[in-house]
Structure 1
Amino acid sequence: MASGPRGSWSEWPVDHFLRTGSIGARDGAAVRWFHAANSRARAAEAARSDVHMVEVDVQLRGGHEEPVLAHPPDTDSDITLQEWLAQVASTAKGIKLDFKSLAAVGPSLELLGRVGPALASPVWLNGDVLPGPCGSCAPLDARAFLRAVTASCPEATLSLGWTTAWQPGQDTPSLSGQERKMCILWKTCSSSEKTLIKVGFITTFLSHRTLNSKKPLESNAECRAGNAWPCHALYCEPL
């Protein structure tokens, strides 16, 4: 059981929402997601909906100003991260911040820290830290991202991924050996209580041998429910 509001930040969504009575069984597919709530209209729709977790994309307005909710190539939005955090903290929903620039990480984590006890649900912090198939955006600097997140928000679940523009229906892409690099990065995350990795389109990564000293915990709802981003496929937990 979580101890205090920030203890909820590190809970697996399926465990948290089962504990709070929002779902009836420990089934990841029961956890509903809302993706890309990157505008006032989308954020309001997510807040009104019956979803459990809301994902937003975060970067700096114009590349150098305050954090806003926007997905490249957009660099502006009609809603700032600060405004959205205040809104979502008044709900019982968990959040996922998908950082689209390293410069946005520090200011965003400062804003997240100010929300503090008002946010008592799972918090995921995602960065695409390695180049992946079909990816057009440069990955975040992996070690800088890990340092910032683990130093400022060790209670949150750390999410690591590859840049990719792959969509369901396309041929399954190859990571060309990037799995091993991700494993090495993953093993540096011992200060983060829980870590997940986007691995839905690589079957070899699902083996215990490949994961070595780590173990897969359970399939993620986003994969099992067939949502738009099946690459979020594995919960992972240090042994």
Structure 2
Amino acid sequence: MTYSNLLKLAVAIISFSAPGAHATDVMSVDTMPDNPSFDIQKASITKEGNALKFRMEVAGAAGEKQPKAIGKLAGSDVYSYVWPTSFDPSLVGFSPDTGILAFAATSHPDFDDTPLFDEDGDGDAANDGRIWHSHWVVLNKTDECGPTGLKVRDIKKGEVFDLPKTWPELPLFIDSPGWHPSFTQTSIEILVPFEKSATLVGASFDGVTSALRVNANAHAPLLCVSAVFEVASGDLSLPGKID
């Protein structure tokens, strides 16, 4: 084991295991030399005035790797940087107690799910899916999605739920709030305004990089987590705390 990995392991043990320790960032002890753009080094959520700053540091060029377009929605891929949280989904307008609320930055060239925003400024708000953008999603466990066992919660015909004002009218628990990711060479950062951000201090989170896939038949489960590149904690235990 290299000195760098030993140091990361020591930090992780102190953060996760010491009695009374106050974990803030989630430090990853895994390495993925073959996929550095999604090799998490550290995930954090911090309070910045009346906002939360979601940040993830990776080993390679953040945001560089994007899915290949296949020319249609069904069967297409989504790449994502994700912060699963302990927030109740009602925080952003979904019905309460409906799953795991996660914030995500995604790229998917075959469809656009931010109808209120024209990310590339070309006058067409329906062709921007390839550009990294943000979502709130509610995740559910399911055997229907194979080894990962996770999907974005579906909204089936006839079901009625509370939904955010910026819901993109897809049959999914997904919100498109329009907060834009910013990238450095090895990090992604998104600032999300919250009027009552102080009430979120102490909430838990984790960091995940993953791929999702639209069902080849375009029906429920519509959007499965098809591959998990890395979980910062190793076990999705949400050890991070908002500081």
User: After TM superposition, is the score higher than 0.5?
Assistant: no
Give the TM-score, by structure 1 length: 0.29
Q: Which has the larger radius of gyration?
A: 2
- Considering fraction of residues, name the structure with more strand: 2
- Considering fraction of residues, name the structure with more helix: 1
Give the TM-score, by structure 2 length: 0.28
Which one scores higher on RCO, CA 8 angstroms, separation ≥ 6?
Answer: 2
